[in-house]
Amino acid sequence: MQRYSALSIFHRGLSGHESWRPQWRRAAPKAAYDAVIVGGGGHGLGTAYYLASVHGLTNIAVLEKGWVGGGNTGRNTTIIRSNYLFDESAALYNHALKLWEDLSQVLNYNVMYSARGVMMLAHNVHDVQVAKRHIHANRCNGVDNEWLTPEQAKEFCPPLNISDNIRYPVLGAALQRRGGTARHDAVAWGYARAADALGVDIIENCEVTGFRKDAHGAIEAVETSRGLITTRKVGVVAAGNTSAVMRLADVRLPLESFPLQALVSEPVKPAFPCVVMSNTIHAYISQSDKGELVIGAGTDAYTSYTQRGGLHINTHTLDAICELFPMFRRMQMLRNWGGIVDVTPDRSPIIAKTPVKGLYVNCGWGTGGFKATPGSAHVFAHTIANDEPHPINAPFNIERFRDGFLIDEAAAAAVAH
């Protein structure tokens, strides 16, 4: 792997950057691998990287039906935080956050993790109760999250409107200072490059069309648009398309796929220092390094695989943003896009073994998967390598739905009484 540094750029710049090599090889599928990852997004590429770097499995492949990082990895609003309520979630997301903190150095690829702070606004008494419950639980779990008064919130985020004569006044905010953003493409590319350097084959334009099982029902091969690949271990990390892929192996999952839209404004000089989220008003906003305001909200109401949604979702998102930040009314939307998010009944992910031996699944991240990328990949690699979950992802199994052990963050945030 060519080392990346300011010096290497300077050095190669002197000769017109002619000597850079591909960041990862354009691999053709081999006939057999020790393990195959289906899905070349951040979670899948990261899984391959940790399988190779932590577990020594290097004869593995990542199969991507399109181009790597082209799914939700490249379509999200890049928010990173770990201030989740339940111990299981806090452990998982904080595991990820710790990995984020030195991911650029580990991968020798600048993923631009920026702990600019994630501030979640409370607009009513119920919001305050929920925020405080989170803060206390986080503190006891070793996750940073602090309460800010409206004045402190405004000091942290000067554009915030804290007057009390607006529809939803800001009564305070929960701030996670280690929360922030990262560069989404860089995460996919950084993992791809690092995995490739360890020998992992990254195979783009390769769609899985079927699974073959042996007499005992265990996975023995994957059928793809580029031929049959023999393998005993398959990890499916296909986000919105997980149901469709798993159906090929006759595994049903409690998932539904919804369109999630996001948008950016035209780039402007620094105007917004952190990430602000509001569950009551239902929108979130940050500013990218390029200067674009990055804005998102909820999903469309219905399941869909179209990667687009309705105009009314945008109008609702932006009326909320304009209400919180009325100086942004004259900003202009540059681009809107859609992804497909797979949602479980408790809105927490599944990172688990499946009823089919040798088949593992990592899905159900809903609208919040990006932040978990390194942690999810790390524990999923452990699960595949050992055929046993890591303690952190053990609660995120499929059986929890049957047994009633839901990890229901959304329900815990509940709705006003």
Positions 66 through 105 that interact with other proteins (CB under 8 A): 66-67, 69-70, 74, 87, 91, 101-102, 104-105
For other proteins, the closer of residues 22 and 216 by Cβ is 22
Within residues 378-397, the interface with other proteins by CB under 8 A covers none
Indicate the DSSP class of residue 83.
-
Torsion of CA 191, 362, 372, 310, to 10 degrees: 100
One-letter amino acid identity for 165?
A: N
Shortest reach from residue 227's CB to other proteins, in Å: 20
Give the pairing type, strands 35-38 and 234-236: parallel
Tokens representing residue 212 in the block: 């073959």
| CA atoms of 255 and 102, how far apart (whole Å) | 33
8 Å CB contact between 284 and 230: no
- Would you count residue 198 as binding other proteins (CB under 8 A)? no
Please say whether the beta carbons of 117 and 177 come within 8 A. yes
| Shorter beta-carbon distance to other proteins: residue 12 or 212 | 12
* 370 in Cβ contact with 78 (< 8 Å): yes
Kindly state whether residue 32 participates in binding other proteins, applying the rule CB under 8 A: no
Gap between the Cα atoms of 203 and 179, Å rounded: 33
Query: Can you state the angle between helices 125-140 and 87-101, rounded to 10 degrees?
Result: 70
Answer whether 159's CB lies under 8 Å from 271's CB.
yes
Task: Tell me the DSSP string of 199-217.
Answer: T-EEE-S--EEEEEE-TTS
The C-alpha atoms of residue 375 and residue 187 are separated, in whole angstroms, by 13
Is 132 a binding residue for other proteins by CB under 8 A? The answer is yes
What part of residues 133-162 is at the interface with other proteins (CB under 8 A)?
133-137, 139-142, 161
- 298 belongs to the binding site for other proteins (CB under 8 A): no
Least Cβ distance, residue 155 to other proteins (angstroms): 17
Give 43 or 183: the residue with its C-beta nearer to other proteins.
183
Cβ 294 vs Cβ 262: under 8 Å: yes
- Of the candidates 413, 411, 409, the residue with the CA atom closest to the CA atom of residue 130: 413
CB closer to other proteins, 99 vs 384: 99
x/- map, 337-376, other proteins, by CB under 8 A:
x----x--x-------------------------------
Verify binding: residue 404, other proteins, rule CB under 8 A. Answer: yes
Binds other proteins by CB under 8 A, chosen from 212, 220, 223, 401? 401
- Interacting residue with other proteins among 43, 81, 95, 116 (CB under 8 A): 116
Residue choice 334, 387, 388, 391 for contact with other proteins (CB under 8 A): 334
Distance of alpha carbon 100 from alpha carbon 182, whole angstroms: 9
Answer yes or no whether residue 241 interacts with other proteins by CB under 8 A.
Answer: yes
Residue 108 within binding range of other proteins, rule CB under 8 A: yes
Give min distance, CB of 366 to other proteins, in A: 13
Stretch that binds other proteins, among 148-156, 230-238, 302-310, 364-372 (CB under 8 A): 302-310
In whole angstroms, give the CA distance from residue 231 to residue 234: 7
CB of 169 to other proteins, least distance (A): 8
- Nearest distance from residue 220's CB to other proteins, in Å? 25
Separation CA 190–CA 111 (nearest Å): 7
Q: How far is the CB of 318 from other proteins (least distance, A)?
A: 4
Among 198, 248, 394, 406, binds other proteins (CB under 8 A): 406
| 16 sits near other proteins (criterion: CB under 8 A) | yes
Does 37 interact with other proteins (rule: CB under 8 A)?
Answer: no
Kindly state the tokens that stand for 87.
């111990």
